[in-house]
Structure 1
Amino acid sequence: MTFLLGNLRLKLLAVAAATTLWATVAYTENPTQERTFQLSGTQIQHTAVPVGLVLIGDLPPVAVTVVGASDALRNFDPNASLRLSANFSGLHQGQQYVALVVTDTDPNTHLRQQPASIAVTVDQLATVTATVTVDQRGSVPVGFHEVSAVIDPKQVSVAGPKSLLANIDAYVVIDLDSHQSFFQDSPVVGVRDQKKKPIQGLLISPATVTVKVTIQADAVTEAKVAGWTLTGQPAPGYRVSNVTITPLEVSVTGLAATLDTIQQLQTDPVDISNATADVVKTVAVRLPAGVQDVSPKSVQVHVFIVKIPQPSP
C-alpha cells in the first residue's frame, strides 16, 4: 500500500511537471505582448454638437494600447475591434476636454492603456457671403490671349466657425495650358485666409461654380491696298482720265486668318455725276468683318476729269 501511495505521488508530480513544461513551451511560442495603435479622430463616434456651435478643426488622434497573445495581436484589426465614443451634447464655446470611452470588442485581447478624454475647441457657427476669384495656372499658347473669365455664380455662402470666417477668400483654380479657344469648367470652390492658407472643414454652397473662359488668337497688323469706287458719270463731253488714291496702302489689324482672306479694302464711293473738272474727295475706309482696326481711317481719292476732244470739222 505504501508503495502504491508513493508511486501515485510520483505520478502526480510528473503530471504537474508536464503541465508546467507545456505552459512554458506554449508561452514561449505564443507569448503575451502589447501593441499601441494610433487611431484617427474620424473614428470617434459622437453625439451632435449643440445647435449654433461647431467644432474647430479635426478631432485629435487617439493612442490605444492593447494586450494579448502574440497570435491574437497578429490578427488584431484596431479599426474593426476598437470602438471610440464621446458625448458632445454638453459642449460650450471655447476649448474643453470631453470624456472618451474606448471599448475592445475582441475577446482575445484587452485594453492596457487609453486616454480618458480628448481636447476639442468649439466656436459659434456663422455664415458669410464670399466673392469667388479665379486662380489661373499655366498659360495659353504663344499667339493667343485670354479675353475674359466669367464666374457663375459670382458669390458663395460659407458656413463654419465664426473665428475662421473673417477676411476669407473664396477661389477656384483654372488651368489655361493648351487652350486656344473658349472653354467651360466647373471647379470646386476653396476657401483660404489672408495668408493664402487653405481653410478646411467649412461648408461652401454651392460647392462648385461655372467658369467660362474666352481665349482668342493675338491680332496682327498688315498693310493692305485701299481700293476706290466711282458712282455716276461725268457731264456729257467729259471723261475720267485717271484715279489716284493717297495713301495707296493702309494698316489693317485683325486675326491672321481673317487678314489672309483680304486682298483689298474698299472705301466709300466717290460721286462724279455731271463733273466737268477733277473731283477730290476724302472718303472713309470700310472695315471688313473680323477686322479690329484700320489706319488711317480715311484716304483721299483724286478723280481726273478731262474734256473729250471733239473731231475737227
Structure 2
Amino acid sequence: MNRAGETLTNVATFFLSLVLAIFIWMSASQTQDPVRTRFLDVPLQYVGLPAEASLVRTDPRQTVQIRLEGPDSVLQEYTSNDFTATVDLSQVPFGEQVSVDINVITSKTGATISFITPEQVEVMLEQQVTRDIPVEVDIRGSVARGHTQGEALVEPASIRVTGPASQVNQLDFALVTIFLNSAVETLIETPSPIFYDQAGRVAGVGALDLSQDEVTVTIPVEESAGFADKLVTVVWTGEPAPGYRLLSVTSDPPSVLVEGRPAQVNLLASVSTEPIDIDGLTESFQQAVVLDLPAGITVDPEQTVTVNIQIEPILTTSSYNRVPESRGLRAGYEAVVEPQQVRVVLFGPLPMLDALSENDVRVILDLFGLTAGTYSIVPDVDIPDRGIEIRSVQPAAVTVTISQTVPSTASAFETPIVSDGEDSAVMAPTPVTRVPTFCYLSSSGMVSAGLQEICIGRRKAE
C-alpha cells in the first residue's frame, strides 16, 4: 500500500509541475507578445443588385469599422485591404426602405473580429427606367430689320434619361434659351439644356445618365425681299502731299441695310460714298459722308456713315557727308583729321529729311583736354529732334593728330617814298614796329589775351 500511495503522489506531482510549467510559459509569452486591440475602417461594397434596379442609399456611410483582437505582432500585419465588407441586395424588395446586414470576412488568421459598427445599413431599391425628355427652345430678341426668322431646328429633339423611377418620372421637359440680338445670318448654337419637373421647377439631373449634355439649335435668318445688306465703298480723289502716303481708308459702319425693288437691290453690289478730296493732305482725319445711292434705293434705317482716312509720312533713309568740327582744342595747337569727311545715314519721315539744312546735321569732335599726339575719336552727330534717328556713322571713329604750333617774329625796315612833286624821290629809312608773323586764336575764335595788341598792330601795318 505504501508503494501504491507513493506512485500516486508522484503522478500528481508531475501533473502539477506540468500545469505550472504551461502557466509559466503562457505568462512569459504574454509578456513578450501581449494581446492587444486594433480598429480598422473597411470600405462597403454593395453586391447582388438586380437588373433594371437602382440603389437609393438612405445612409451616406461609405465604410464600416471593425475591432480586431490578437497578439500585437499579428495585428501589425493587418490592413483594411485584408477585409471585405459587403451588403447583399439580392433579396431587397423594390420601393421599400429596409435594413441589410453587413458581412465582414477575411482570409487571414491569428486575430478575431470582436466588434462591427454599424452592423446594418439602410437601403432602398428603385426600378431603373429610361425616358426621352423633349427639348424646347426659348427664343429671345429678334433678327435685324429687313430680315426674317425661320423655324428653329433642334438636334436631337429629345434627350434620353436613365435612372431611378422616382427621379426620372418627375421630369417634364428640357429647355434651351437662344438670344437673337438682331442677327443678320443663320444662327447655330450648342447650348446645354436645363431640365424642369412636372411642377415647372428646375430639376437636378446630376445623378442621372443622360444620352448627351448639349444640343444643336439652328435658327435660319434670311434677308427679306427688297432688303439687303450692302458693303460701303469709299471713293476718294487726289493724292497726299509729297513725302506722305495713304495708309488706309475705312468706313463705319462697313455695311448698310438698303431697301428698294427686289430686282434692283439684287443687282446692287455695293453702295459708294460721294468723292472725298485728299489732295495735298498730310494728316489723318474722320469725315461724315453722304452715300451716292441709285434712284429708288434708300438706306433703312437712316444712319450716318463715317469715313476714316489714315495718312502718314513716308519713312526712308538719307545720307549726309559732313566735315567734322573740332571743339575744345587748346590754344597753340592744331589738329589734322583723317578722313576729312564723315558719312551720316539718317532715318525718318521723308518731309523732315528733305527739310534738313546744311547746319542741321553736324559732326562734332570733342578735343577738350587733349595734348599733342594721335587719337581715335568717336564723332558726335548733332541733329534736330524731329522724329529722325541716326542709323549709321561711317567711319565710326576718326584719327585726330594734334601738334603744337611755334610763333615767330621778324624785324624789318621799310623805306617810304617821299615825293616833292617832281620826278625824283628821296628814300628815307624809317623804323617799323616789329609785329609777329602769327596770331594765336583760342578755340572760341577770339584773339588770345596776351597777344591781342600785337595782332591788332599787324592788321594796321598790313
Structure-1-length-normalised TM-score? 0.47
Greater relative CO (CA pairs within 8 A, separation 6+): 1
Tell me which structure has the larger Cα radius of gyration: 2
Structure-2-length-normalised TM-score? 0.34
